[in-house]
Chains A and B, each alone.
Chain A
Amino acid sequence: MTWLWFFAKIGVALGIIFSLGPVCIMGDRKISAWIQGRVGPNRVGPWGTFQPIADILKLMMKEVIVPDGVDKVLFLGGPLIVFIAPVFGYCVIPFGNQIGEEKLQVVNLDIGLLFIMSVLSVGVYGITLGGWASNNKFSLMGSLRASAQLISYELTFGLTMLLVVMMSASADPLKSASVDLSKIVLHQAEYGWNIFGGATWWGLPSGLIGFVLLFTCAMAENNRLPFDMAECEAELVGGYHTEYSGMGFAMYMFSEYCSMILSASLIVTLFLGGWSFPYLTDPADHSFLAGVISIGVFFTKICIILFLYIQLRWTLPRFRYDQVMSLGWKTFLPLALVNIGYMAVIGVFLEKP
């Protein structure tokens, strides 16, 4: 029975990624058309909804071209690394409440938050190595930019996660802080979402700033448009995937959406209360129906965040490279540090038993 549960949970987690991935690709094209006043893809299936399937079929049929002078092992391995990382990271995301004795989370790690951080940081090697192996100056520039960007934004990313851990601690001095993601969600279900400051209204500015920081850093780490310095076509042809065609390119593209979904789930889990919603979910209710409702709530929240992601992509112009760097180091890092300091002061002075 436990094995059945295990496989069912893996199925749901993979289902969220692999069903939302094509939906994201489709949404990206439809929403961009909507924003730009175009029609968008409308030929394949009703309203063009089968377009992603047609896209993937086309990419699968295309010849995989391995150009002369590339480093074959890393050239073919790069897309694999970048594809595996987000899927791996999804196994610690709590995508629902408990059903009976089973927590709706593939594995319940004590080090959940740290695990996500390590997985996210390993993902960039796919981009870096793939770009280097292409033996192309533009690809190399793209991969160098990707690694520089990751290092710059990972600091703020980590500090914001620390903020969440501090918020999960400050409400109840008897409960110690936790990096266990399911505990972070339970805390929010009980005391209020972290974006509104967790347990105390004094934390409101801290929570809002933290949310904006995490959202932007996640965008920068996924190389999404205002931050897609690694592939910006105006300067670098196609960046790290210039030399890729067929499935290699498809895996880079699909993994970008997968890591977007992972980041969206992380944002929802850390700041927007995970699977909880006032009056709709009850942390103490472990029935089957409540579990399904909690999965639905989580799924809806991810979709809203993904919509924001896509909308921002088509609304904001791309930053210049030095602007990305100075934003990361001179604005976000100090802001995150001050934010943590503020939360620490609140935690010490207001929450004394």
Chain B
Amino acid sequence: MDPIFLIASAVALASAVNMVTQRNPVYSAVFLLVGFLAVAVTFLSLSAPFLAAIHVVVYTGAIMVLFLFVIMLLNLKPEELGAEYPIETRAPIAVLCAAMFGMMSWAILSDPSLAIPAKAPNATWGSVEEVGLLLFNVYALPFELISLLIIVAMFGALVLAKKRLSNVEATS
């Protein structure tokens, strides 16, 4: 296997573990950030450059900035974070997660059609042009439906976040 892929996935896994085990939420966010970048590198080594770039732009560029913004705005002190869960709660959850992970990897690994091909089918595979052609020709309808979904979600967020007009006038 590609050594870059191996290194990047090792980094991604290590930072994922660190993200879960850190006490400080800001450090968790930083490790998640490192994980995102490492995942982007695995995408690159699997010849999906467009996916890698979009992954970095959307996740590290927009979503994580917002996450970090909220975490910093709350700026929790260690005593406000509360005590850790007792081992009786954590053990069953760990078993459950391990079982789910096992089932998923069994399902993926046992299906030969999901195996990673040794190399990309052709040189432009995964490039911006190819992805664009697929999105706007073959998958045009699902693509537009997803954009509709996002607009609906945006309006929902607006309605939830907006103060009632009468309240605003009363305070100002």
Contact = CB atoms under 8 A, between A and B. Distances in A.
A35 interface: no
A118 interface: yes
Contact of A151 (B26, B33, B66): B66
Contacts of A125: 33, 60, 65, 68
A57 B92 CA distance: 59
B72 A110 contact: no
A128 interface: yes
A109 to B, nearest CB: 7
A117 B61 contact: yes
B65 A110 contact: no
Interface size class of B (residues with CB under 8 A): 20 to 34
Secondary structure type dominating chain A contacts = helix
Interface string A122-135: 10110011001000
Interface string A99-116: 000000000011100110
Contacts of B75: 132, 140
Interface string B43-62: 00000011011101100111
Nearest to B62: A151
B30 interface: yes
B73 interface: yes
A132 B72 contact: yes
Contacts of B40: 118
Contacts of B52: 111
A71 B30 CA distance: 13
Secondary structure type dominating chain B contacts = helix
A106 to B, nearest CB: 16
Contact of A124 (B37, B50, B65, B129): B65
Interface stretch (A141-149, A251-259, A344-352): A141-149
B49 A143 contact: no
B68 A111 contact: no
Given A121-B65, A150-B65, A143 B72 contact: yes
17 contacts: A71-B26, A110-B128, A111-B52, A111-B128, A114-B54, A118-B40, A118-B53, A121-B56, A125-B33, A128-B69, A132-B75, A140-B72, A144-B72, A147-B65, A151-B66, A151-B69, A154-B61
Nearest to B61: A121
B30 A129 contact: yes
Contact of A144 (B26, B57, B73): B73
Nearest to B65: A147
Contacts of B56: 118, 121-122
B72 A151 contact: no
A122 B61 CA distance: 6
A110 B128 CA distance: 8
B105 interface: no
B147 interface: no
A162 interface: no
A147 B26 contact: no
Interface of B: 26, 30, 33, 37, 40, 49-50, 52-54, 56-57, 60-62, 65-66, 68-69, 72-73, 75, 127-129
A196 to B, nearest CB: 26
A125 B69 CA distance: 11
Interface of A: 71, 74, 109-111, 114-115, 117-118, 121-122, 124-125, 128-129, 132, 140, 143-144, 147-148, 150-151, 154, 158, 176, 178-179
Given A109-B49, A111-B53, A122-B60, A74 B69 contact: no
Nearest to A114: B53
B68 to A, nearest CB: 6
Nearest to B50: A111
Nearest to B128: A179
Nearest to A137: B75
A146 to B, nearest CB: 9
Given A110-B49, A147-B66, 14 more contacts: A111-B49, A117-B53, A118-B53, A118-B60, A122-B60, A124-B65, A128-B72, A129-B30, A132-B75, A140-B75, A144-B72, A144-B73, A148-B69, A178-B129
Contact of B68 (A109, A110, A118, A147): A147
A176 B72 contact: no
A114 B57 contact: yes
- Listed from nearest, the 6 A-B pairs whose CB atoms lie closest are A121-B61, A114-B53, A118-B56, A111-B53, A111-B49, A147-B65
Contacts of A110: 49, 127-128
Contacts of A176: 129
